[in-house]
Structure 1
Amino acid sequence: MGACCSTEVKYKGRRHEEDDLEGKEEEGQQEEVTTTGHAGAIVRFQGSSSYTSMYTRKGKKGINQDAMTVWENFMGEKNVFFCAVFDGHGPSGHQVARHVCHTLPYKLSTVFKENDVAVGADKDWEASIIRAFEESDEDLILEESLDSYCSGTTAVTVIKQDEHLIISNLGDSRAILCTRDNENQLIPIQLTVDLKPSIPSEAERILKCGGRVFAMDEESNVPRVWMPDHDCPGLAMARAFGDFCLKDHGVIAIPQVSYRKLTSKDEFVVLATDGVWDVLTNNEVIRIVASVKKQSMAAKILVYYAVQAWRTRYPGSKVDDCAVVCLFLKKRPLLTRSLSDMSKNVASQLDGADSNLISKDRKTEEGETVINCDITVDPKALDELNRVKAFTKSSRLGSLNRRKTSKDFGGTEAN
């Protein structure tokens, strides 16, 4: 272990104690948790590798209901990656998220192998992905140890093989791609749609199935899904694993699936739960990740900034759980210009940024569209954090067009 210290840092003009930065000497990351998966894949639940960085942090709402995983050599194929994050909700949401985190990649791997499905531009894989998602959802019913009647989880996943990228999404977790425009500037492309009942097509399906969609008076900007005759559970998403009390009323486990062919301009993919997206824009996320010197630190630094954004913007709210997986498409450094040159550019782009940035993000080719005040800090992690802060300190985070709120549900907040 490296030397430890307790310290404070300046963040957007205010002072905050650094939190969640203790870790191993090697780049300050969480301890590696790996195992062997189907067809010999290397499975990670935290840590980092040559091309991936993962990190999760418990919020202030109780147990961490977020989960994440990375499978390398997915399906037994060299250099094929499967990455996913899951955001549980309801009384047993943490258990549902962890269960699906373990079973879904296995289902996908076996379905692909059994049907000899290739990852590519054709559509053979789409039916296999939908089948794996639906089977994983059905397995929850059979799992007697899990109460998934009024609990569930989101899921956003990517499978990467060579230049092929397949994206699948349930709920309001999100995946974005960082790429370069014709002027070599970093720009975000949102790869998924936040599947909420506020989307007209999602609300229409729910209403046709007898479900109800409305927002409570105290959170008029957050439409939720309710049972026909009971004011519960108040689900803030239109698709999810579990939540069987609403499966007959329009909530489905059929993912939105899309494909993107990667190019030499593409840099990395970020998958994260809404604890990140509720306080950071797509543009802010790619700037933070791109500015990290050591790629293995990217997820941790991003979570740190999300937590600080929660405290700065919503000091009276409970910080949400955060989970991030970064998949880097290249090993070479992202910063092709000096930090002093880039900081001016970043400042102008991030200063006053708001939700309008999201509408400016490009879509994929198919239109589809990551506490303790007295802490110990690893010196390497602190140096890395300070480097990122020097890169972005001249900019300030913009305001959001909405604020995420939660409704207590069965003693656990249903997000």
Structure 2
Amino acid sequence: MLYVANAGDSRCVLCRKDGKALDMSNDHKPEDEIELKRITRAGGHVNIQGRVNGGLNLSRAIGDHCYKANPDLPLEEQMITAVPDVTSVKLEHTDEFLVLACDGIWNVKSSQDVTDFIKGELFEDKNSKLSLICEKLFDICLAPDTMGDGSGCDNMTCIIVQFNPTWLSSLQNIVKDPVVYHDNIKKNVKDFSSVSLVKATVKPNNDLKINNVKRSRTEDNDVTNNVPKHIIKNEPKRQKSI
């Protein structure tokens, strides 16, 4: 089983048999009906550019504590929440790879476009370095200049995980009761996100204001460091380009 927990507008896409792209997450955008209702009920608004109170352009996120400081609302009803959506799918031996990328990619290419590109690169050279495929993907997403539609520039981040078909075939008997396991996964993720939110909102920084958003960013650890080598053929690297 593959489980994906998502909060934000990065997306996970699974390449299935014959190269069909399967979205494993939904982008959380402020203008989406469900997200917009929660934001409005919490006292926020979304402008014409799709930004919450003129600042954040996604509706779920870890951090961004100034959007989560309403003492009269539970954590999941704040303007911005870190509570994720959890999806799952049974992996088949014909599944080829999954790709995780931020909106800098998906604002330019569709899930199927990206899947087709990666599959084509792997077809040309099955031993191609995944990091180089990421770089090529960035190149085709780059704008020729910074003018565009006036909305500015964005970063690009991509991770490709290529499955080992022998390993996938061996998974059939690992999880005997996927329904119970799935329920436990969802409960654990929800509990973890709630605890994290409590810690984040108990002592909000005084210099954070709703209409003047200040955000701190830290470099993520390479999530592939702890992935067993037998799961993937090539160890992918996290790449960024601006």
TM-score range relative to shorter protein: 0.5 to 0.7
For 1:376, the equivalent position in structure 2 comes to: none
Whichever structure has more strand as a proportion of its residues is 1
Deviations 1:132-183 (A, max 9, x none): xxxxxxxxxxxxxxxxxxxxxxxxxxxxxxxx11101111010001012xxx
Q: Which amino acid aligns with 1:321?
A: N
- 1:165 is aligned to 2:2: yes
Residue 158 of structure 2 corresponds to which residue in structure 1? 324
Higher Cα Rg, which structure: 1
- The answer for the alignment partner of 2:89 in structure 1 is 260
Please give the alpha-carbon distance, in whole angstroms, between the structure 2 residues aligned to 1:253 and 1:311. Answer: 31
Are 1:288 and 1:302, in contact at CA under 8 Å, matched by a contact in 2? no
What SS does structure 1 have at the residue aligned with 2:119?
helix
Q: 1:328 to 1:301 in 2, by over 3 A?
A: closer
1:68-83 alignment runs, 5 A limit: none
CA–CA distance in 2 between the matches of 1:285 and 1:179? Answer: 13
For 2:32 and 2:155, the matched residues in 1 are separated by 24
- Percent of matched pairs sharing the same residue: 30
Residue 305 in 1 paired to residue 134 in 2? no
Contact 1:276/1:303 (8 A) holds in 2: no
Unaligned runs of 5+ in 2: 71-77, 167-211, 217-242
Paired position in structure 2 for 1:238: 59
Alpha-carbon contact 1:178-1:187 (below 8 Å) kept: yes
**1:192-245: per-residue Cα shift (whole Å, max 9, x none)?**
100011110111011111111222xxxxxx31111xxxxx5x111110011111
**Whole-angstrom CA distance in 2 between matches of 1:303 and 1:409:** 31
1:210 equivalent in alignment to 2:55: no
- Is the 1:289–1:299 Cα contact (8 Å) retained in structure 2? no
Shift in alpha-carbon separation, 1:245–1:286, aligned structure 2, 3 A: same
Provide the rounded CA distance (Å) in 2 between the counterparts of 1:209 and 1:319: 29
Structure 1 segments (4+ residues) deviating >6 Å: 408-412
Unaligned runs of 5+ in 1: 1-163, 216-221, 227-231, 333-407
Q: Which amino acid aligns with 1:256?
A: D
Helix, strand or coil at the partner of 2:139: helix
What SS does the aligned partner of 2:129 have?
helix
Q: CA deviation at 1:269?
A: 0.6
1:308 is paired with a residue whose SS is: helix
Normalised TM-score (structure 2): 0.58
Q: Is the 8 A contact 2:64 2:215 kept in 1?
A: no
Shift of 1:304: 2.7
- Pairwise CA RMSD: 2.6
Cα offset, 1:315, TM superposition:
5.2
What are the Cα deviations for residues 42-77 of structure 1, in whole angstroms up to 9, with x where unaligned?
xxxxxxxxxxxxxxxxxxxxxxxxxxxxxxxxxxxx
Q: CA deviation at 1:411?
A: 10
Q: State the alpha-carbon separation in 2 of the partners of residues 207 and 244 from structure 1.
A: 17
CA distance in 1, matches of 2:61, 2:127: 31
CA contact (8 A) 1:303 1:322 kept: no
Give the distance between the partners of 1:264 and 1:322, measured in 2 at CA: 30
Matched to 2:13, the amino acid is I
Letter of the 2:21 counterpart? P
**CA distance in structure 2 between the aligned counterparts of 1:207 and 1:322, rounded to whole angstroms:** 30
Aligned CA distance change for structure 1 residues 303 and 281 (closer, same or farther; 3 Å): farther
Cα distance between partner residues in 1 of 2:2 and 2:159: 15
Q: Matches of 1:252 and 1:205 in 2, distance apart?
A: 10
Matches of 1:174 and 1:299 in 2, distance apart? 18
Q: CA deviation at 1:256?
A: 0.9
Equivalent in the alignment of 1:193: 26
> Structure 1 residue 283 and structure 2 residue 115: aligned?
no
Contact 1:269–1:326 (8 Å) recurs in 2: yes
Q: Which amino acid aligns with 1:316?
A: M
TM-score w.r.t. length of structure 1? 0.35
1:303/1:276 Cα in 2 relative to 1: closer, same or farther (>3 Å)?
A: farther
Are 1:175 and 1:191, in contact at CA under 8 Å, matched by a contact in 2?
yes
For 2:38 and 2:215, the matched residues in 1 are separated by: 29
Give per-residue Cα distances to partners, 1:322-351, cap 9 Å, x unaligned.
Answer: 22111112269xxxxxxxxxxxxxxxxxxx
**Do 1:166 and 1:258's aligned partners in 2 also have CA atoms closer than 8 Å?**
yes
SS, match of residue 257 in structure 1: strand
